[in-house]
Every structure is written in structure tokens, then in C-alpha cells.
Amino acid sequence: MTQGTDAVELRGIGKSFPGVIANHDVDLTIRPGTVHALIGENGAGKSTLMKILYGVQRPDEGTIRINGEDVVLKSPTDAIEHGIGMVFQHFMLADNLTVLENLVLGAEKLHGIGDDARAEISRISDRFGFGLKPDELVEKLGVADRQRLEIAKVLYRGAKIIILDEPTAVLVPQEVDSLFANLRELRDAGNSILFISHKLDEVLAIADDITVMRRGTTVGSADPKTATKRQLAELMVGSELPSPETGESTVTDTVELTLSDVTLTDEFGRNLLSDISLSIRRGEVLGIAGVEGNGQSELVEMIMGMRIPSSGHITLGSEDVTHWHTRRLREAGIGYIPEDRQRHGLLLDAPLWENRMLGHQTEAPNAKGPWINRAGARKDTQRIMTEYDVRAPSIDTPSRALSGGNQQKLIVGREMSGDPSLLIASHPTRGVDVGAQAAIWDQIKKARRAGLAVLLVSADLDELIGLSDTIQVILRGRFVGTFEPSSVTPQDLGAAMTGGEAA
């Protein structure tokens, strides 16, 4: 095979940020018509490399060759002209526009905004089995549909090389399966797909080629036909594969959190949550399984005092906290890992040590009375960075400069600090690598033995089954089934989550 036929050839790519070398001497070759997986530990430089390929960032050195032609990508517009499209982990859709409007937005020149555009959308949707309805409002779509829409957007703009940054992190297994079906269709139609994932099963299931990055450079490749998860993990982080085994039960008799018949309505009087009852005892992990968008976010925000229930009661320890505000709840000892780390968990432009204070700015070691304890906060940030392996140049680095997984580790470390009595965790290991995932699971298990009560919302069913003492399935704002983790399979859970059957 001649070299010129490769879809993408990156040679000697280097990129530095203040205090960090994000990429150096990166070589990557993507064959046309393949699915290429890029794996590596948090902060290895995967997202940076993808952003370089999509023209969001300029490399300091190295060459990019697309379909045998040397190119300089100054902006995403250049990248799109060369047939490269990217779906970011955080979707960029306008909620109050329709599917059609979102698709043509900014690409009106291609097929206009009328019937031609509509025809093109139907063609793409039918060809790859996306099932898009052009006139549906985007705010009505679930995550999986949004993702398909993002991919359709990229195809609509004529992309032949499609980059997906952690596309499966927000999906439950059935959705992952159908995404993969879509990706195979795309591949068979001659497109090249480059995707990043921390989930090694998925990588082995879909990829034709695998490239591993470590500490800013490509360290090797693996053949998905012969490689095992263990081998991949060792290539990535040099550590053992984690398994979220709970071991013996640590559930006590003391109830920490109770919700009784709680209903939450939106401003139009529609029920977001209906008659939810649950109780979590000290030392217990209650898992919530569900397809994203079925009320998990609302449940969490309600417990955290960011939404006030329209009826029912919430009790923490022995106090009625139904109308308590977030700060009071946090001061009472609740740790909170929000689902959207960038919007709810971080001040992106503030240094890490100030991010350590966020959400705990009135508590030790960050404050003394009304005063900030700068020294205390800085010292504790250092501790969190060591204990949770947060990799960053210093505690004065702005949190924006951290890789996704390192941002997540900082938040988990912060919320586990100060011995919380209750942890409300939404996707606590979303976006972290296998090694860090194991470490976070260990920390949760350790705290649980010491009496921590946990509400765990996760799209990762292995994580739910491995950590939980009980699992509740949520569907359209209601609990529709209770499962024993010891006897349930991911398949059972999956069926209940999509309304297949309730136990």
C-alpha cells in the first residue's frame, strides 16, 4: 500500500501549554474506512491531539497530511474543507431550535435552508439509520439522539473523517450498541472514524486499529483482534484492571437520607419527578440506573436544594430539610459531585486552590468564620492533588488547563474531603482513566466502610452493580424497579431502564 492513501497521517506533532507539554513527537496514521481508537490515561494529550487535527489548536511542530496531501489547519473551517469533522464531548446544539435548524445553522450555503436541506437530512438519516425527525425541537431529544444529531451535523458538512471525543461516556449500554451500529454503517460507507474512550470493552468491540498515548506521545498500537483489556490497560497506565467489587456489606441501621412521596413539577405544572420515595442508610450505596434525561438530574438537584419539591418531604439525619438551601445542606455534611463538571463543578478561570474552596467556601480548612483561610485551602489542595493523582503544573494553574479526567479527579477529591456523611455522586468516574477509576472506587468504598451514605447516579452499569447495595431504576421521573446488585445483570437493568419490563 502506498503511503499517500492514508486518510490521516500525523507526524512529529508537538504542542506545549504554559507549564505542560501536551503533545510531543506524536505519530498517528488512520487508514481510510476504519474505526481508529485512541486511548490513554488522563492528561495523556488525546483531546489536544484531536483539537489539533480539527484546527482548534495550532501545533507547535509537526505535519498533518490528509489523504496524502500536506495541509495547514488554521481553524475548524479549514478542517471542514478538508473533510474533517469533530463531535465534542460537550454538545453544541441550540436547545430551542429544531433538528433541521440546528443542522443547517452555519452551513446554509451547502443546501440552503429549505427543501434541499430537508432532502439531504433525510438522505443522511436514512442512509445511516439515525432516525432524525427534522422538525422536532432539540430540547425534547435525549442524549443519544443529540449525539446522532451532532454526527449528522458533521456529515451534513461533508466530513469523511469524523472525530468523536469520549462519545460513549454519557450513554447507557443499549445506546452504545446503537451508536456503534451507526459507526459501522459510516465506516462501511468509506468514512474514517477516530474516537477516544476510556472504556476498553468498547474499544475492543468497535475499533479496527488502536493507538495508545502516554505522557503526551504515542507509545504503541494494539490489534483489537488479539489484544485483551488487561494488555491495553497495561499499555496505558501500567496498572491492573480495576473491578468495582463491593465486598461484604457495610450497611448500618441508621437512616441518613429519606425522601417520602416527593413530587417535583416544572413551571408549567408538569411532573418532573412523581412520588419518589427512597431511603439511604449510613454505609449504604443506593444506585440509580436510567437512561439520561429521565429525572436523574432533577432528583439530584432537588436533594441538593437547587430545586424545591412541590410536595413530599426530604429528611437528612433527623431533620426535615425539604426547604433547605444548598449551602446549608452542604454545611450539614453533603458532598456533591455534579454531572456536568464544567458548568456546575468548576470555576474554569480560577486557580485550582480556589476551585478547592468552591462549594466549601464557608467550611474548614478553607474558611475561619467569615474569613478565607488561604494557607489552609492551598495546603489542602496539595493534599487532594497527591491523594487523587490530579496532574497539573501547580495549585495556581487555572482549572481550564486541566484535562477532563484531571478536572473530574479534583472534584471527587474535593467532595470527599472533610468526611461528608452523605455523598450525592453523578457519574463520579465519567471521563477518568481505568487507573483513576479504580482509585476513586477505592476511596468511595473506604468512606462507605466508615459510614458514608451514597446516592450514586451512573450510566456505567458495571460501576452501579459493583458499588451499590441496592439499585433503583428511574424512568420518566418515576422509580420503576428495585434490583439486588448481586443477582442482576446489565441486560436486566438495560431492559428496565428502557421500559421493557419492571421487576
Partner 1 sequence: MKGLNLRSIGLSLLAPVIAIVVSVLVTSLVIAAVGSSPGDFWSAMFSNPLPRLRVNIVNQTAIIYIAAVAAAIGFRMNLFNIGLEGQYTLASYAAAAFAGGAYLSGFANVLVSILIAIAVGAAWAGIAGVLKTTRGVSEVISTIMLNSIAIFLVGYLLNRYGVHEGNSVHTTRLADGSTLTGFTPYLPRDGQIWALSVLAVIVGIGFWVLLNKTHFGFDLRASGMSSTAAVASGINPNRMIITAMMLSGGVAGLIWLPALFGGATSYGTSFQSGLGFLGISVALLGRNRPLGMLFGAVLFAFLNSQSNTLTFSTDISPSIVQITEGVAVLAVVVAFEVVRRWRARLEQRVVGREHAVATEVTA
Which residue in 72, 94, 189, 348 binds partner 1 (CB under 8 A)? Answer: 348
Residue 178 interacts with which of Mg ion, partner 1, ligand ATP, none, CB < 5 to 8 Å by class: none
Interface with partner 1 in residues 49-68 (CB under 8 A): 60
Instruction: For the CB of residue 432, give the shortest distance to ligand ATP in the complex, in Å.
Output: 7
Binding site for ligand ATP (CB under 6 A): 17, 20, 22, 40, 42-48, 401-406, 431
Count of C-beta atoms within a 10 Å radius of residue 320: 11
Extract the C-alpha cell encoding 168: 460513549
Smallest gap from Cβ 165 to ligand ATP, in A, equals 7
Query: Nearest approach, Cβ of 49 to ligand ATP (angstroms)?
Result: 7
Shorter beta-carbon distance to partner 1: residue 248 or 349: 349
501 binds, among ligand ATP, partner 1, Mg ion, none (CB under 5 to 8 A by kind): none
DSSP string across 244-307: ----S----S-EEEEEEEEEEE-TTS-EEEEEEEEEEETT-EEEEE--TTSSHHHHHHHHTTSS
Least distance from ligand ATP to the Cβ atom of residue 47, Å:
3
Cβ nearer to partner 1, comparing 1 with 268 = 268
Q: Which is nearer to ligand ATP, 403 or 437 (CB)?
A: 403
205 touches partner 1 (CB under 8 A): no
Give the pairing type, strands 271-281 and 285-289.
unpaired
- For 89, the 3-state DSSP assignment is coil
CA dihedral 347, 353, 358, 359 (to 10 degrees): 150
- Which residues does 193 contact at the CB level (< 8 Å), separation at least 6? 34, 35, 36, 161, 162, 163, 164, 183, 186, 187
Looking at beta carbons only, is 346 or 357 nearer to Mg ion? 346
The label of the residue with cell 486518510 reads 7
Closest separation between CB of residue 318 and partner 1, Å?
22
43/309 with CB nearer ligand ATP: 43
Q: How far is the CB of 195 from Mg ion (least distance, A)?
A: 12
Question: 23 to 52, contacts with partner 1 by CB under 8 A?
Answer: 24
- Per-residue burial over 485-499, b if 16 or more Cβ lie within 10 Å, else e, is beebebebbbbbbbe
Q: Which residues have a Cβ under 8 Å from the Cβ of 56 and sit 6 or more positions away?
A: 75, 76, 86
Tell me if 107 sits within 8 A of 120, measured CB to CB.
no
Least distance from ligand ATP to the Cβ atom of residue 44, Å: 4
- Report residue 496: phi and psi, to 5°: -65, -35
Here the cell at position 166 is: 469520549
Query: Shortest Cβ distance from residue 401 to partner 1 (Å)?
Result: 10
Asked if 404 is part of the footprint of Mg ion (rule: CB under 5 A), the reply reads yes
Instruction: Pick from 140, 215, 343, 449 the residue near partner 1 by CB under 8 A.
Output: 343
DSSP letter assigned to residue 341:
I
As a 3-state breakdown, the chain gives helix, strand, coil percent values, each rounded to 5, of 35, 25, 40
User: Closest approach of Cβ 385 to ligand ATP, in Å?
Assistant: 12
Query: Binding partner 1 by CB under 8 A: which of 362, 443, 470, 498?
Result: 362
Number of residues that bind partner 1 (CB under 8 A): 40
Q: Are 196 and 38 in contact (CB under 8 A)?
A: yes
Q: Select the residue interacting with partner 1 from 56, 251, 347, 480 (CB under 8 A).
A: 347
With respect to partner 1, which residue has the nearer C-beta, 20 or 259?
Answer: 20
The rounded distance, in Å, linking the Cα atoms of 420 and 405 is 23
Nearer to ligand ATP, 26 or 425 (CB): 26
- The binding site for Mg ion (CB under 5 A) comprises 47, 404
Chain contacts with partner 1 (rule: CB under 8 A): 14, 16-21, 24, 60, 304, 306, 325-331, 336, 338, 343-350, 354, 357-359, 361-362, 366-367, 370-372, 374
